[in-house]
Amino acid sequence: MSAPDRTQVRGEGVDWSQVWYPGPTRRFTADEMARAGTDRPSRTLLTVVMVNYALAAFVLMQLAPAVATSALSLLLTLTGVIGWAGMLQLWRRPERRMLAIVSLAGAAALLLTLLATIELKHLERGTHTRDWVAGAGMVLAMLLSVAYWFVAVYRAHQIEARLREQAEQQRALEMARQLASAQIQPHFLFNSLASLQHWVQTKDDRAAPMLSALTGFLRATLPLFNRQRLALGDEAEAVRQYLAVMQMRLGDRLRCSLDIDAAAVAAQVPPGLLLTLVENAIEHGVMPALSGAEVHVTAHAQAGRLKLAVHDTGPGLGGGHADGTGLANTRERLAQAFGAAATLSLENAAGGGCVARIDCPLDIE
């Protein structure tokens, strides 16, 4: 055994509390229980418990003296009722404290039941039958304690597994969101910086406005990388700065306009939603057109819905528009935020060009 292994073994130690106070050590909060689900025990678990209890009852009935059959039947019935009530409590609160309370309460109830059964059946003291019924009661008490422990541990492990699964799903969604946000076209920054460097070296008057617009774009896009939602007004500012940079680079080839309703400014949307559509319109609508094209961005709030549209007058869907990585990520972010209540469509515009539309719930929180 290597040195690290010996250190690990020595560091594990013994949890002595489990020796005298066994059971699940974790206490679940009300929120964790709600997220894990408060469903009733599964049919599989109920079947396992019932089969084992039925086998134990069958063995005891076969071994019991004939005169003790009625007393044992009553004892088995009451044990089943007590066991079922305790298991339901442990299912709702699978923790060591509840396990101890239920076990002690179950043992006390079973002892009282045993004493009452012996007295009701008028079993004489010191007889073999009375001793046998008392011994059977002790066996049932032990079986009840084991069943309680099994249910508590099983339920605790089930809740922990569900919470781990939810945590993994949340981490996966967060990673997907960050990856989608990072998909904002990096070559835009490189090309813009290359143009800025060239203008600075040639002392072009466009260098200062380009630096100002590019700085404004970077400042406006910072929230896109660390939020799950942001106001559409903040997103629109990033779009304005992006279009300002692209107009300096493309000159008269790009004509653009933004029309954002006052009621839509506060709408909460996934970061990068509108910017991705505008980038797609520039790349596939404006760039391929030798004479340039127009890009019109609109956002309207109507009857509890937010309707976004990015229309370009370029060559249309046949000219290169397609569901690429950017639009695929946009659909994914919409699905994560609104589920089936949000849609994204891409189609040829009636007057030429292409229009991308998003229809989603109007979230003002």
- Tell me whether residue 71 is exposed, middle or buried, using C-beta atoms within 10 angstroms of its C-beta: 0 to 12, 13 to 18, 19 or more: buried
Q: Quick check: 182 pLDDT over 50?
A: yes
| Confidence (pLDDT) at 257 | 93
pLDDT at 262 over 50: yes
Lowest mean pLDDT among 82-96, 126-140, 328-342: 126-140
Place 73 in a pLDDT band, splitting at 50, 70 and 90.
confident
Pairing of strands 230-231, 343-348: unpaired
User: What pLDDT does residue 141 have?
Assistant: 83
| Res 63 pLDDT > 80 | yes
Q: In 3D, which of 313, 249, 264 has the Cα closest to residue 284?
A: 313
Chain segment 164-180, per-residue pLDDT in tens? 888 887 776 666 565 55
Q: Does the pLDDT at position 5 exceed 50?
A: no
Question: Whole-angstrom Cα distance, residue 226 to residue 271?
Answer: 9
Q: What pLDDT is recorded for position 8? A: 42
- CA of residue 186 relative to chain centroid, distance: 30
For residues 159 and 153, what is the distance between their CA atoms, to the nearest angstrom?
A: 10
pTM for this entry: 0.53
Better pLDDT: 326 or 120: 326
Residue 348 reports pLDDT greater than 60: yes
DSSP code of residue 290: T
- For residues 205, 207, 213, 216, the Cα torsion angle rounded to the nearest 10 degrees is -130
Tell me which of 21 and 109 has the higher pLDDT.
109
Element (H, E) at 212: helix 207-221
User: Average of pLDDT values for 223-235?
Assistant: 79
Cα-trace Rg, the chain: 35
Question: Which of 48-52, 235-239, 296-300, 306-310 is least confident?
Answer: 48-52
The mean of the pLDDT values for the chain is 81
Distance (Å, whole) CA 59 – CA 54 = 9
Between helix 273-281 and helix 325-338 the angle, nearest 10°, is 160
Task: Give percent of the chain with pLDDT exceeding 90.
Answer: 18
Q: Are 24 and 94 in contact (CB under 8 A)?
A: yes
Q: What is the pLDDT of residue 307?
A: 95
Averaged over 309-333, what is the pLDDT? Answer: 78
* Residue range 43-55: mean pLDDT, rounded: 83
User: Residue 328's CB: how many other CB atoms inside 10 A?
Assistant: 13
> So what's the pLDDT on residue 311?
94
Q: What percent of the chain has pLDDT over 70?
A: 83
Under the banding of pLDDT at 50, 70 and 90, the label for residue 309 is very high
**Owner of token pair 């013994």:** 14
pLDDT grade, residue 267 (50/70/90)? very high
Give the separation between CA 250 and CA 287, rounded to whole angstroms: 9
Please give the average per-residue pLDDT across 235-244, as a whole number.
Answer: 90
Name, in order, each residue with C-beta under 8 angstroms of 276's C-beta and a sequence gap of 6 or more.
Answer: 183, 184, 326, 327, 329, 330
- pLDDT on residue 296: 95
Q: Which has the closest alpha carbon to 294: 336, 259, 252, 326? A: 252
Residue 27 has what pLDDT?
84
